[in-house]
Structure 1
Amino acid sequence: MLMFHKVVVGDAERALVYKDRRLERVLSPGVHRLRGWSRKVVMHDITTAEYTGSDTDSLVQSLGASLDEHFQLVNLDMQEAGLVYKHGKLVDVLQPGARKLYWKGLAEVVVQRVALSGPLELAPEIVHRLRQLNLIDKLAVAVTVPAESAGLVFVDGKLVQVLGPGAVAYWNFRKNVTAEVIDLRVQSMEVSGQELLTRDKVSLRVNLAASLRVTDPVAARTRVAKYADFVYRELQYGLRKAVSAKTLDELLGDKASLDADIFAYVRGQLGGIGIELLGVGVKDVILPGEMKDILNGVVQAEKSAQANVIRRREEANATRSLLNTARLVEESPTLMRLKELEALEKVTEKIDKLTVFGGLDGLLNQLVKIKQ
């Protein structure tokens, strides 16, 4: 007596029937009666579209020409990736060399092949969708270049593109894609605490500040390993060279010439690497404690000598003026009389009461010796 058992397959399901551990057929939606009990039925939910079994290769071989009735086979080579669209929306990305089966009959699945031998840049709409799926960091290198900056894209160590401000992404399959952002704005750099010797062998410390900007990002990135370190080192060399060529008095008396010497040297060194030096300035010249005391003593002595000279000059001027006044008084009795009245006025300012006997002439004869 033959035995049958019933298998019910829903609209969102498919069933694989195995006999003696070999695939026999695929059951579509409906009610099926299978003869005997030696068959194994494996149900699959096709709402996800992708076949999740581990026997893809044997399934393709077993179904042969009838595979297209139930499945869509996607077989990518090693130089292409696949964009998987479901109902017109991007839902997944297949790696190069991937081999996938997708169920037919429920969801419309379209796989778009992307050749990796050509440009690696992703279209903006694909980048946006991959961000929504949280896949952008796994599958691509995303670069965001801010304003006043430039982006450099390297593929397997070779510079392939210079980017302006904006956002872009590149496939990162089977190739090493890297990107760097170069700031084109004016930058400041400080060289602090440099111990130097002047031409007259005075030890001091100098702090230097400089402003610069990148004018050629490709040259700055490719001609030197680290352009910031290179500029810093050249500022050190320029500062040491300029300080060693001057005495301490020359340094303290004319810092502007020191700035100019450093600027001229460093600017010449940076001409071929795409860096423009905008300005250099010495911020501080710091002397040792004993040298400060010596300089303070020198300055104090100089100022004291200058004060003595000024004092002597003023005393001489005052004596000369007094002599001239005496000569005028000697030659003019009227002027002598006016001087006597001025002296009397000053005396009376300090006297509370004054009693006059013998008239004004008598008073003058008593207080001031009048020349006959």
Structure 2
Amino acid sequence: MNATMAMQILNLGNNSLSGELPNCWTKWPSLNIVILSSNRFSGEIPSSVGTLRDLKSLHLQKNNLSGEIPSFLRNCIKLQVLDLSENELDGNIPRWIGISLTKLIILSLRSNKFRGHISHKLCALSSLQILDFAHNNLSGSIPRCVGNLSAMEHSLEDSPFQLNVSAGNGYLLEHEFVMMKGQLLEYSRILYLVKVMDFSSNNLSGEIPTEMTNLKDLPSLNLSYNFLTGRIPANMGNMRMLESLDLSVNELSGPIPESMSSLTFLSYLNMSDNQLSGKIPTSTQLQSFNASSYSGNKLCGLPLMDKCSAVGTEPSSIQTSGGRGEGHGEEINWFFVSMALGFIMGFWSFLGPLVINRHWRCRYYRFLDEMWWKISDFLCKYCF
């Protein structure tokens, strides 16, 4: 019995356990690390989890848990890692997370059903290195105070913290899946170096806060698939450590800031499907990306085919009346005309609504994205 009470690590992850989580956590008051991820647990998070005052790491991701984030978790004030991603949790993201769980370094709520606004109280999490709210139903604007997340603002080279949570004589190497450079990547040994902010696939609106550019030590920022408007902050180039930037499928307008030409570490960029216009700034990095990174905008200059003029974009090719057949009427080939008309009618019948109605298009893209996630999760569970 004493050995049971002294247990500090419980790892039952990556199994096929099902049913509701038992409400008997008071029997293990010394637990530091709980890993129940990648199972088939359902129901709500039991209240007795809040009695684990020494808990540092809680992994409940990839289950079928439902309900809201329970308020009793605020008692787990030593939590450094809280991963509730890929469940069926809903409700608002609690403000008390930013008040009570001040030692959090990883907060992942990806792929749930959370709604409401992002509370400015979360900006008090000064140690936060991974903030992942992607694939939810969050609305409202991005809080300006996100620029105060000091762990993303300053280098942590001198920090003693390593994401290898120890528990008495036990030891566990933390690992986490994060979306980086357009791919879902797993990090473990170098996880302490990873810094990610991902608000993608929500219903966020308003402008990108200028204060966000204070995050000079943030390597990965993903704001794609939202309804963000306005211009990209002029001093975006201040985020000098950016390696991955995804602003695609929003309603951003205006030019790409010249300051972005100084982002020398940038290796992944996606600004497609916005309302950006003007010349792509000249730099080694920005011209090295595929043209698809800029598609769906009114941009010009390399790597696009459209050349820039003094007043804007020139057509990539101009039809002239000279050359072969000049001065002679050309016979119309009605067969090809009918083929073209048929293609146009078919396109507008099936794909036209996706082009015209932006909300339908976003839902269609999100549906494909969610199907990809489910297929990937199935393959990971049953094929490897």
TM-score range (shorter-chain normalised) is: under 0.3
Scaled by the length of structure 2, what TM-score is found? 0.26
Say which one has the larger Rg: 1
Scaled by the length of structure 1, what TM-score is found? 0.26
Structure with greater helix percent: 1
